[in-house]
Amino acid sequence: MDIIKEHKLSIDTPLKLKSGKTLNSYDLVYETYGQLNDNKDNAVLICHALSGNHHVAGYHEGDNKPGWWDNMIGSGKPINTNKLFVVCVNNIGGCHGSTGPASINTETGSNYGFDFPVVTVHDWVNSQKVLMDNLGINKWQFVVGGSLGGMQAFQWALDYPDYIDNAIIIAAAPKLTAQNIAFNEVARQAIMNDPDWCGGNYLKEDKMPKRGLALARMLGHITYLSDKSMADKFGRDLKQEKIGFNFNVEFQIESYLRYQGEKFVNSFDANTYLLMTKALDYYDPVSDSEFIDKISSTMTKFLLISFTSDWRFPPSRSEEIVKTLISHNKSVSYACVKSDGGHDAFLMKNDNYFDVMRTYIENN
């Protein structure tokens, strides 16, 4: 059992954001696993998704649950830390140590709250490049991410083609659809309609929009699972012996969702949730006026993976990226993995999925 410590890098060089605003200084909290070799060519960047963070594998002192992708990353695992040096950073705007809405703005002495600037996938990649330079890494052998993390891996290949050999993009999409944006908007309205959100400045008011954030999480959760996985796990099972004809919890699925919502609000910041959904909404690299130049010049090799039951970013969305890459003569491998796990399948152990990852990584 590996005990992992987190590190903090404090940066005073301003970060110019895509919105036009600037973060004058910021902290990046990150973890590493394995050893950087002497040639400094075995580094892997893991990019996290909406509710993820830098604690991707191993155990913190005293924890009995490992990081969120511990099945994928470690000694002998597909992302094998016996050979690779793995880095994962909490994205700015986050709520697990890197500078975000709940952090103190040193220029005002109080927390940013809703004044924290809107951040994008592009901004995250830029801040990850700053960390890369600080760690003395010359090139990522792999940049890997699922969902919103996959968008960051894609963006690395576009923005820093000389610093990345392979992008592994899992359960992602080249941009959100109207339906995707719609679900995000309902989640945002749930948070912003909660009176305890206080116009985004709930920390100053010593409040927390728990009901709104729980609702957003419940909704998100439904879209991460497949209809079949929910049916298999919960079906129409009742919580009590028989139907009560009232508005208490009747079905197990209701109980599960409420539990997921309540658990989430104790470990996540509502304003971070808002920012993450916005980063998703805005991501659309193909619409960038420099896209053709960027995609033409990158030598990055790509592995795309999708899951059959993922209806948030179904296989057709990964295939849009695949087609775009092929049309620009890029090197692309693609696997659509059979799974009932829905969008969350990218976090789950699955022999075919892990074999694809292992084989690609060992050969690239």
| Residue 305: burial class (beta carbons within 10 Å; 0-12, 13-18, 19+) | buried
DSSP-assigned letter for residue 91: P
Minimum CB distance to a second copy, residue 324 (Å): 16
Q: Is 320 in the site for a second copy (CB under 8 A)?
A: no
**Cα–Cα distances in Å, from 185 out to 61, 182, 189, 319, 347?**
38, 5, 6, 25, 25
Site for a second copy (CB under 8 A): which residue of 9, 186, 198, 348? 186
Q: Is 79 in the site for a second copy (CB under 8 A)?
A: no
Site for a second copy (CB under 8 A): which residue of 37, 82, 138, 193? 193
Annotation marks residue 310 as catalytic: yes
Q: Is 195 in the site for a second copy (CB under 8 A)?
A: yes
Whether 360 and 333 have beta carbons less than 8 Å apart is answered as yes
Annotation marks residue 226 as catalytic: no
Residue 350 has, within 13 A of its CA and on its CB side, a CA count of 20
Q: What's the CA gap between 20 and 39, in Å, rounded?
A: 37
Minimum CB distance to a second copy, residue 73 (Å): 31
Q: Is 82 in the site for a second copy (CB under 8 A)?
A: no
Choose the catalytic residue: 54, 55, 122, 343: 343
Q: In what order do the strands lie in the sheet with 140-146?
A: 7-11, 26-33, 85-89, 43-47, 140-146, 164-170, 301-307, 331-337
Site for a second copy (CB under 8 A): which residue of 5, 65, 236, 242? 236
Site for a second copy (CB under 8 A): which residue of 9, 36, 118, 348? 118
Residues near a second copy, by CB under 8 A: 18-21, 117-118, 175-179, 181-183, 185-186, 188-190, 192-195, 211-212, 214-215, 218-219, 222, 225, 227, 230-231, 233-236, 243, 245-247, 250-251, 253-254, 257-258, 261, 274, 278, 281-282, 284, 311
By annotation, the residues acting in catalysis are 147, 310, 343
